[in-house]
A = this chain, B = another copy of it.
Amino acid sequence: MPIGQRARKRPKLSDLVVEDVKRWIVTERKQPGDRLPNEKELVELFGVSKSTMREGLKALEVRGLIKTRTGPAGGAYLQQVSLDHASEPLRNFLHFHHLDGHHIYQLRKILEPELAVSVVGRLDAKQLDLIEQTIRLCEQEPRNDIELRAQRVAELEFHNLLADKCPNALLAFMCRFLNDLLRDLMVYKNAWEHRHFGEANLGFHSKLLQAFRDENADAVHRLMTEHMVDAETHMHEMEVHVGVQQLLMPAGRRHA
């Protein structure tokens, strides 16, 4: 070991083979949907054992870059990295940091108006209809907890539909991520009990829909900002005693 020099320890073969596979994908011009060679061929191609190769494939799978299937025509298929594969690690990261409703709305108050304005004029009739449906769902008085919960989910779906049409992929990701945090927080807190919360949202969503139809960017920005400021007050009202980070780590069956 050379003195005064970082003892650069040998990286694991299973990690090296991951880089090899990535390079192979690039040089072979492979696209999402394309199939990688089968395990036997990969083992020969990269000169490692089966177990090492499988650890490498598992690493690629965890990153969301491949998906494997058994049987004939099975094997490892290239995938587009999904939203979930990008969100989960960020959740894990935040699990080790303090994060509360104030932090979420500090971001939502500036990001949602920016996103909303960016989709003005980009919503076709079909999109506007879908958005209207999320509003209609919240108009009737909920008869039980199931319906109440469905209304809360629909309210967040309103915002996700806007994100679908946002041309800025990173802005869309962030807004969706915040929506997911809020949804899980509400599920955890049984926050859908709070009825007047929904009534306030309903009014803003209706006015926003009209502003989108009118393609009135100024109105959209103003309404969405008011909507977020209002939502934050409701967030505070419901006295969040449990921190957001509590629900991040276990990564259990929240999406059931």
- Give the contact stretch, choosing among A60-68, A127-135, A148-156, A186-194: A60-68
**Known contacts A81-B92, A111-B110; is-contact A103 B170 (Cβ 8 Å):** yes
Closest chain-B Cβ to A69's Cβ sits at a distance in Å of 9
Chain B residues with Cβ below 8 Å from A96 are 32, 80-81
Closest chain-B Cβ to A229's Cβ sits at a distance in Å of 15
Question: A92 is contacted by which of B63, B94, B104 (Cβ under 8 Å)?
Answer: B63
Chain B residues with Cβ below 8 Å from A19 are 252
Whether the pair B110, A89 counts as a contact (CB closer than 8 A) is no
Whether the pair A63, B62 counts as a contact (CB closer than 8 A) is yes
Could you list which residues of chain A lie within 8 angstroms of chain B, going by C-beta atoms? 14, 19, 22-23, 26, 32, 51, 54-55, 58-59, 62-65, 80-83, 85-86, 88-90, 92-99, 103-104, 106-107, 110-111, 114, 118, 167-171, 173-174, 249-252
